[in-house]
Structure 1
Amino acid sequence: MPAIAIIGAQWGDEGKGKATDLLGSRVDYVVKFNGGNNAGHTVVIGDEKYALHLLPSGILTPGCTPVIGNGVVVDIDVLFEEIDGLEARGVDTSLLRVSASAHVIPDYNRSLDKVTERFLGSRRIGTTGRGIGPTYADKMNRIGIRVQDLFDEKILAQKVEGALDLKSQVLAKIYNRRAPSVEQTVEELLTHAERLRPYVCDTGLLLNQALDRSETVLLEAGQATLLDVDHGTYPFVTSSSATAGGACTGSGIPPTRLDQVIGIVKAYTTRVGEGPFPTELHDDAGEHLRTTGAEFGTTTGRPRRCGWYDAVIARYAARVNGVTDFVLTKLDVLTGLERVPVCVAYDVDGVRHDEMPVNQSDFHHAVPVYEYLPGWQEDISGARSLADLPANARTYVTAVEEMSGARISAIGVGPKRDETVVVHELV
């Protein structure tokens, strides 16, 4: 049985949670392998809406084991807030497993994240201020704190003291902020340690043993390809690897065991935070997409920047990730438009680019080259097959598929779990 990666193919918020949940009943493990509580998934089951930030969306599927992998950075307070919130609504969270090697977000990194972003001013990245970036920086600088450190108070205190030797100087002398004490930080980190202990294990071993037993493992990305720290629109990116390669490093599953890569794309494009966005709309059309699509961040509540579908980005994501199948979400949001533009290439200073420009400056100045497809007026939320879609909606799906570099296997026609057109079975 396969290991499957679900990857955002734009700038995030494409609907990965719904796609993961769609597959959830047919998989045994769902793994979050990157990021932290800086992104969210919204899953609608019947009349119930669940906003997940740190927990894998497989937590909502009975019998499925949700896993927080080693590539995630964990805010323990947020983790238990989410667990408590779900349990209060009758969701069983006892199967959750957390990697002993995942890094923990300490209080000083949350402070550092916020003051750094304010200090940058017009050069700000657009982070959520939750300490994600500084914690990944600590990981690379080898001064990070891992989940396993919480179970050895002496080691934990030594690591916190070593990190604060530097952090306190930065906070005080550059940002005029007082750093928390070693004792204060250790006490905060230990608050939930014993409650956390039963969830913690060697998740890489757990997942490889599951694959040995022919069980199916689903790896779900936080953020998306264009926010990947290596392959995204740097420096306006997240601090982790959000691509299919990151699925392996962030979970402990080797590349040879990854059978399928599912890329999630909206029928239009959105972005939160700063950075270039060629198809962004600053007019009534953009506001229509934002309002109709409820484009406000699950985690931050920030209004998302909106634009038309960008096939150049989709082709790039297909190539970087090795996408085998696309899931096209929110097609219903385009209902009612007389015609629908699709970006097929960029014009940069009079030169046409059919692929992503090699340097960031060109991408920043890229002007979209559009093709216009006929719109449709019919309500499509009840469609469950391609034949149920209006002719113009089918034309749109076919055109986007041909432009994007991989087949479209499912189409979202509404926010609910069952409001999906399945073209090809994904598992």
Structure 2
Amino acid sequence: MITSSNPTDISNQSDDSPPQKGKLTDHLLASNAFDICARAAGGHNAGHSINFHLLPSGLINPKTDNLIGSSVVFNAEAFFKELADLDAKGVADVHSRIHVSSRCHLNFQLHAAVDGLSEVKLGKESIGTTKRGIGPSYANKASRDGLRVIDIYSDSFERKLRQLADSYRERYGDLLQYDVEQELRNYEGYKEKLRPYIVDAVAYMQDAQTAKKSILVEGSQALMLDIDYGTYPYVTSSNTSLGGCIQGLALSPFHLKNVIAVVKAYTTRVGGGPFPTEQLNDVGTKLQDIGGEIGVSTGRRRRCGWLDLVVLKYSMAINHYTTINLTKLDVLDTFPTIRVATAYITPDGQKRSTFPADLGELETYEVEYTDFEGWQTSTSGVRDWDKLPVQAQKYIAFIEEFIGAKVAYIGTGQDREDMIIRA
């Protein structure tokens, strides 16, 4: 989260995008009554316990306007389905409170079909994507042959979509199970239906910031899945960092004053890629089971391990956090010993406190841990710092000292109100 003098808040997480930021989002929306909630990047692969993946979570608050920003890849089918779900739940004024940037690139059924084939082709080296076509959408954007929301209304839309489909057909042949005629019919139906939601997002955000409106900015995934700074190639296809939020929404960096990291009390990851503190044993299974570690978007069990402070400090160097939201502390309640990674050890015995760019090099490292006595009593539902066990307080204090930022929010249970807030 980044809080500005307006204030502007930007949601960011340090691992794989589970729905844990929802609790903090609820608190911020309730306590600050944000005027706007905006999605900065990603696609319909964000994981939320409120059961939508593209729409900004601010739609739940009837007083908050919402924007899908220019760096988001937009899936029209998901957009209308999620709006219909909110309508069915009786959420007020959803259609008048959601806007879509005309500059968003389109995420087609074509992209989802290609995404699945790409993963099959990679075999054991597959990235572990959600297979929703996010990567291929961004690839077309970067190669300058993608289509944007505004292009739906161009006479060249049909020709360009056919050309895009033909180029993928040349690559994958009969393996590509995709019907371009059906896609074109779908978009003919979306054309007028979508028009009322489309805005010039640059003007929208400029007006909002000039008027000093409060803005909650929602990212997608987190730093270790960032296309530039994450565990490449096991990453998503957008910038999930603070910089990506600024770019995706044309935010003024001069208004930002607080940056809140959302991080679990242990570490998780969905899909492939390196995971130095992963526990392929009873500890990992216990964390999965107690933590309910199932990916919201994918249904896959998350890989679990001890908290990696090397990774968190690396994330700190890029996102410049001022405070930390530590979630799921209660998941550690029954562990007699709790470990945190504080350094990596190279094969020649050298200690390394930074995260390497070379994943092959990372695989040769051992992990140096600091061990803590577990508190072995329930913290579930605790909402007062003084009521936490001393051992839990020591664990949190160590994280604060190591990272150099205060743990201002502590999640202690599944209820949306189960949070300790420290001034």
Give TM-score, length-normalised by structure 2. Answer: 0.94
What is the CA–CA distance in structure 1 between the aligned matches of 2:12 and 2:416, rounded to whole Å? 19
Q: How does 1:293-312 map to 2 (within 5 A)?
A: 293-312=291-310
Counterpart residue number, 2:189: 191
Asked if 1 retains the 8 angstrom alpha-carbon contact of 2:277 and 2:306, the reply is yes
Counterpart residue number, 1:379: 378
1:227, CA displacement in angstroms? 0.3
Q: How does 1:345-360 map to 2 (within 5 A)?
A: 345-349=343-347, 350-360=349-359
What is the CA–CA distance in structure 2 between the aligned matches of 1:160 and 1:334, rounded to whole Å? 50
Counterpart residue number, 1:266: 264
Counterpart residue number, 1:47: none
1:72, CA displacement in angstroms? 0.7
Q: Counterpart amino acid of 2:9?
A: I
What is the CA–CA distance in structure 2 between the aligned matches of 1:188 and 1:364, rounded to whole Å? 46
Which range moved further: 228-237 or 95-104? 95-104
1:280, CA displacement in angstroms? 0.3
Find 1:136's aligned residue among 113, 128, 138: 138
RMSD of equivalent CA atoms: 1.6
What is the CA–CA distance in structure 1 between the aligned matches of 2:25 and 2:202, rounded to whole Å? 20
What is the CA–CA distance in structure 2 between the aligned matches of 1:14 and 1:89, rounded to whole Å? 20
What is the CA–CA distance in structure 2 between the aligned matches of 1:213 and 1:39, rounded to whole Å? 29
1:59, CA displacement in angstroms? 1.4
Counterpart residue number, 2:3: none
What is the CA–CA distance in structure 2 between the aligned matches of 1:208 and 1:411, rounded to whole Å? 34
Counterpart residue number, 2:79: 79
1:2, CA displacement in angstroms? 2.1
1:216-250: per-residue Cα shift (whole Å, max 9, x none)?
Answer: 11211111100000000000000000000000111
Counterpart residue number, 1:161: 162
Find 1:38's aligned residue among 33, 41, 45: 45
Counterpart residue number, 1:99: 101
Asked if 2 retains the 8 angstrom alpha-carbon contact of 1:66 and 1:96, the reply is yes
What is the CA–CA distance in structure 2 between the aligned matches of 1:103 and 1:337, rounded to whole Å? 46
What is the CA–CA distance in structure 2 between the aligned matches of 1:386 and 1:63, rounded to whole Å? 31
SS in 2 for 1:71: strand
Counterpart residue number, 2:327: 329
Asked if 2 retains the 8 angstrom alpha-carbon contact of 1:383 and 1:389, the reply is yes
Q: Counterpart amino acid of 1:180?
A: D
Distance 1:273 1:357, change over 3 A: same
Asked if 2 retains the 8 angstrom alpha-carbon contact of 1:106 and 1:189, the reply is no
Asked if 2 retains the 8 angstrom alpha-carbon contact of 1:143 and 1:162, the reply is no
1:8, CA displacement in angstroms? 1.0
Q: Counterpart amino acid of 2:256?
A: L
Q: Counterpart amino acid of 2:29?
A: G
What is the CA–CA distance in structure 2 between the aligned matches of 1:351 and 1:297, rounded to whole Å? 36
Which range moved further: 25-34 or 138-147? 25-34
1:273-330: per-residue Cα shift (whole Å, max 9, x none)?
Answer: 0000000011111111101000000011100000010111111111101112110000
Which range moved further: 101-110 or 226-235? 101-110
Counterpart residue number, 1:46: none
SS in 2 for 1:72: strand
What is the CA–CA distance in structure 1 between the aligned matches of 2:400 and 2:262, rounded to whole Å? 12
What is the CA–CA distance in structure 1 between the aligned matches of 2:62 and 2:380, rounded to whole Å? 26
Counterpart residue number, 1:389: 388
Counterpart residue number, 1:45: none
Asked if 2 retains the 8 angstrom alpha-carbon contact of 1:223 and 1:242, the reply is yes
Find 1:342's aligned residue among 337, 340, 343: 340
Counterpart residue number, 1:29: 36
1:120, CA displacement in angstroms? 1.1
SS in 2 for 1:247: helix
Distance 1:176 1:382, change over 3 A: closer
Q: How does 1:60-71 map to 2 (within 5 A)?
A: 60-71=60-71
Asked if 1 retains the 8 angstrom alpha-carbon contact of 2:19 and 2:47, the reply is no
What is the CA–CA distance in structure 2 between the aligned matches of 1:124 and 1:307, rounded to whole Å? 21
Counterpart residue number, 2:112: 110
What is the CA–CA distance in structure 2 between the aligned matches of 1:71 and 1:168, rounded to whole Å? 27
Distance 1:242 1:312, change over 3 A: same
1:197, CA displacement in angstroms? 1.6
Asked if 1 retains the 8 angstrom alpha-carbon contact of 2:19 and 2:48, the reply is no
Q: Which runs of 5+ in 2 are unaligned?
A: 1-5
Q: Which runs of 5+ in 1 are unaligned?
A: 43-49
What is the CA–CA distance in structure 1 between the aligned matches of 2:253 and 2:29, rounded to whole Å? 22
1:315-352: per-residue Cα shift (whole Å, max 9, x none)?
Answer: 11111011121100000111111121011111121221
What is the CA–CA distance in structure 2 between the aligned matches of 1:259 and 1:187, rounded to whole Å? 47
What is the CA–CA distance in structure 1 between the aligned matches of 2:47 and 2:122, rounded to whole Å? 25
Counterpart residue number, 2:23: 18
Counterpart residue number, 1:370: 369
Asked if 2 retains the 8 angstrom alpha-carbon contact of 1:341 and 1:371, the reply is yes
4+ residue segments displaced more than 4 Å: none
**In the alignment, is residue 404 of structure 1 matched against residue 403 of structure 2?**
yes
Asked if 2 retains the 8 angstrom alpha-carbon contact of 1:262 and 1:325, the reply is yes
Distance 1:380 1:150, change over 3 A: same
What is the CA–CA distance in structure 2 between the aligned matches of 1:363 and 1:218, rounded to whole Å? 36
Q: Counterpart amino acid of 2:40?
A: F
Counterpart residue number, 1:52: 52
1:358, CA displacement in angstroms? 4.1
SS in 2 for 1:356: coil
Asked if 2 retains the 8 angstrom alpha-carbon contact of 1:156 and 1:186, the reply is no
SS in 1 for 2:381: coil
